[in-house]
Structure 1
């Protein structure tokens, strides 16, 4: 799952141009949570929640998140986030994904773009 997430999130982020805007760590982790939880909700047949995080992930992509550059520190934080999600039990993963829904509703990234 990590490889799929990182491939999707990092494909353009690390390969961005030197003049590209730096990706904020909170936004990167929020986007990762959207991607992870889209899969989590689909696997657990939670269609409403999956729709919320999936639409937000697409809106973030449309707002240019994939054109931004990620720092080493942000990349390390993503690795830790993935490890924590994978180590969590289902109940803990539900709580993590509740935070993804909050991010989806409150993210200023899409609103500011």
Structure 2
């Protein structure tokens, strides 16, 4: 059930309006990074990993508040996001921890928030 909820949240986040001419395109790395932040916020909460959850949660909100929701996602980026979701959902707990380590790395290195 939670994985369905996560997938729904990611879909809602990236459901940009392609007809909006003023909207910027969302690059694949940022889209995947944001998806990993969203997924791993829930994963860390389920695992009682509060420090990690705070890192990804704060970064997720900073990206959201910087306008990521208004950006448009290409078909290729959408497909990459679907692939990422499939990989995460099929992974065992150890593999999910590794994927979430990448989310923390994205949280620390992303320049999306500073670029705005």
TM-score class, shorter-chain normalisation, is over 0.9
Q: Counterpart in 2 of 1:10?
A: 14
Counterparts of 2:63 and 2:18 in 1: how far apart (Å)? 18
1:111 deviation in Å?
A: 1.2
Q: Counterpart in 1 of 2:69?
A: 66
TM-score by length of 1: 0.93
Q: Does 1:92 align with 2:95?
A: yes
Q: Structure 2 stretches of 5 or more lacking a match?
A: none
What aligned pairs does 1:70-81 form with structure 2 within 5 A after superposition? 70-81=73-84
Contact 1:21–1:69 (CA under 8 A) maintained in structure 2:
yes
1:5 deviation in Å?
A: 2.4
- Please report the RMSD computed on the Cα atoms of aligned residues, expressed in angstroms: 1.2
Q: Counterpart in 1 of 2:44?
A: 41
Counterparts of 1:61 and 1:3 in 2: how far apart (Å)? 16
TM-score by length of 2: 0.90
Counterparts of 2:104 and 2:17 in 1: how far apart (Å)? 26
1:16 deviation in Å?
A: 6.4
Counterparts of 2:27 and 2:61 in 1: how far apart (Å)? 18
